[in-house]
């Protein structure tokens, strides 16, 4: 196990990001791209050891602005294009290339992985897109048309009322979301049984990045968010590396869309987690881990 801080050149100067390598496999080195934007590697603390036990090399990485890395107060840095460039700089620093470099991106990390593959696909051995649709507009439609109608209407009305008032810091907002949304679609366990690495990672999330990129609502994106119109579904046909798309039955992301992504990809494979939600590595771990290991071994 080795830690390393990597200098990242940006338009606002040079900053450092934190990485840690577990295990060793010169032909299968998996860089984990965490969600958020601006969550942390910490919620991978069950997945990474399982992958290492399966023979893979795994690299934790906190993206710039996230907990273990530098957190510059530079709003101009929080763009999708700059994060893609950051991943490329991390790749170069770690000596990863098309013979060994595998990205596993979860949620926002999956979006980032898609963008990286579209820009720097020649440097990739394989891509794993976990629990992330290829279209934010489609994700928003799924939230409106499928997720919200299943929620308690009184609770949903109160959630929408708080959002309309932009009172996102109201403790009632988080409590309502936990009871009526998170435990059903984010991580399917009672709130008091959520794993400590997950709650720690979410506690470390940097809202100065998350809000302008994703938006403040937890039931879809919002028009002021920079990712609001992001849609790469049609462009998946240009990703010519083996790609595993992981979906889950109870996810915030449409399982049917995830299947369609795998079909759209020239070398796509689909893994469905029947008991999983957005954090399927926690609530359907056997299917998730065995599916990832099988995919990597097939390369």
Cα separation of 67 and 171, whole Å?
A: 23
pLDDT bracket for residue 143 (50, 70, 90):
very high
- Per cent of the chain over pLDDT 70 is 100
Is the pLDDT reported for residue 197 higher than 90?
A: yes
Report if residue 215 sits inside a domain.
no
Q: Give the number of domains in the chain.
A: 2
pLDDT bracket for residue 1 (50, 70, 90):
confident
| Domain of 161, in residue numbers | 142-195
Tokens representing residue 150 in the block: 């299943």
CB 247 within 8 A of CB 255: yes
Backbone angles phi, psi at 91, to 5 degrees: -55, -50
Indicate whether 25 and 170 sit together in one domain. no
Strand partners, 101: 29
Report if residue 209 sits inside a domain.
no
Cα separation of 2 and 59, whole Å?
A: 9
Say what the pLDDT of residue 177 is.
96
Give the catalytic positions in this structure: 107, 251, 278
Cα separation of 167 and 1, whole Å?
A: 43
Report if residue 165 sits inside a domain.
yes
Indicate whether 133 and 261 sit together in one domain. yes
Q: Mean pLDDT, to the nearest integer, of 219-239?
A: 96
Report if residue 280 sits inside a domain.
yes
Cα dihedral: 163, 168, 173, 178 (round 10): 110
Q: Mean pLDDT, to the nearest integer, of 55-74?
A: 98
Tell me how crowded residue 209 is: count the other CB atoms within 10 A of its CB.
Answer: 23
Indicate whether 47 and 118 sit together in one domain. yes
Indicate whether 123 and 187 sit together in one domain. no
Residue recorded with tokens 């009305």? 157
DSSP states of 168-228: TT-HHHHHHHIIIIIHHHT--S-GGGS-HHHHHHHHT--HHHHHHHH-S-SSS--TTSTTT
Q: Mean pLDDT, to the nearest integer, of 31-44?
A: 98
Indicate whether 7 and 116 sit together in one domain. yes
Indicate whether 126 and 18 sit together in one domain. yes
Q: What is the pTM of this model?
A: 0.97
Cα separation of 99 and 160, whole Å?
A: 48
Cα separation of 179 and 189, whole Å?
A: 11
Q: Are strands 126-130 and 2-10 parallel, antiparallel or unpaired?
A: unpaired
What CATH number should be reported for the domain holding residue 276?
3.40.50.1820
Report if residue 44 sits inside a domain.
yes
Cα separation of 246 and 262, whole Å?
A: 9
pLDDT bracket for residue 23 (50, 70, 90):
very high
Say what the pLDDT of residue 213 is.
97
Report if residue 212 sits inside a domain.
no
Q: Mean pLDDT, to the nearest integer, of 50-70?
A: 98
Is the pLDDT reported for residue 139 higher than 90?
A: yes
The mean of the pLDDT values for the chain is 97
Cα separation of 78 and 80, whole Å?
A: 7
Indicate whether 129 and 158 sit together in one domain. no
* Poorest-pLDDT segment among 88-102, 109-123, 213-227, 230-244: 213-227
Tokens representing residue 169 in the block: 């810091």
Cα separation of 190 and 7, whole Å?
A: 40
Indicate whether 47 and 131 sit together in one domain. yes
Domain-ending residue, one of 178, 195, 212 = 195
Strand partners, 228: none
Say what the pLDDT of residue 266 is.
98
Report if residue 222 sits inside a domain.
no
Q: Mean pLDDT, to the nearest integer, of 65-76?
A: 97
Question: What SS3 state is found at 125?
Answer: coil
Report if residue 277 sits inside a domain.
yes
pLDDT tens per residue across span 240-281: 999 999 999 999 999 999 999 999 999 999 999 999 999 999
Indicate whether 250 and 111 sit together in one domain. yes
Indicate whether 146 and 249 sit together in one domain. no
Indicate whether 47 and 28 sit together in one domain. yes
CB 31 within 8 A of CB 104: yes
pLDDT tens per residue across span 286-298: 999 999 999 999 9
Indicate whether 65 and 161 sit together in one domain. no
DSSP character at residue 147: I
Say what the pLDDT of residue 239 is.
98
Q: Are strands 243-248 and 126-130 parallel, antiparallel or unpaired?
A: parallel
Cα 53 to chain centroid distance, Å, stands at: 22
pLDDT tens per residue across span 90-110: 999 999 999 999 999 999 999
Complete edge-to-edge strand list for the sheet that includes strand 126-130: 2-10, 13-22, 57-62, 29-33, 101-106, 126-130, 243-248, 268-273
């Amino acid at each position: 196990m080795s830690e390393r801080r990597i200098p990242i050149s940006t338009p606002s100067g040079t900053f450092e990001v934190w990485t840690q390598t577990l295990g060793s496999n010169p032909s299968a080195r998996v860089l984990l791209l965490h969600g958020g934007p601006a969550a942390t590697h910490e919620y991978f603390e069950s997945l990474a050891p399982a992958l290492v036990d399966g023979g893979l090399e795994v690299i934790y990485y906190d993206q710039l602005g996230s907990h273990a890395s530098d957190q510059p107060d530079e709003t101009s840095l929080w763009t999708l294009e700059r994060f893609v460039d950051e991943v490329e700089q991390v790749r170069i620093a770690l000596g990863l290339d098309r013979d060994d470099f595998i990205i596993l991106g979860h949620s926002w990390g999956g979006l980032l992985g898609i963008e990286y593959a579209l820009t720097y696909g020649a440097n990739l051995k394989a891509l794993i897109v976990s629990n992330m649709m290829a279209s934010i507009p489609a994700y928003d439609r799924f939230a409106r048309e499928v997720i919200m109608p299943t929620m308690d209407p009184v609770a949903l009305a109160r959630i929408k009322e708080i959002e309309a008032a932009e009172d996102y810091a109201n403790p009632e907002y988080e409590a309502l979301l936990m009871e009526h949304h998170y435990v059903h679609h984010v991580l399917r366990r009672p709130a008091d049984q959520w794993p400590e690495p997950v709650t720690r990672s979410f506690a470390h999330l940097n809202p100065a990045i998350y809000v302008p990129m994703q938006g403040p609502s937890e039931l879809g994106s919002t028009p002021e968010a920079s990712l609001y119109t992001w849609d790469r579904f049609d462009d998946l046909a240009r990703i010519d590396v083996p790609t595993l798309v992981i979906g889950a039955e109870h996810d915030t992301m449409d399982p049917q869309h995830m299947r369609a992504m795998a079909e759209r990809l020239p070398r796509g494979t689909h893994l469905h987690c029947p008991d999983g939600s957005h954090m399927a590595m926690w609530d359907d771990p056997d299917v998730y881990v065995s599916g990832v290991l099988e995919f990597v071994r097939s390369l």
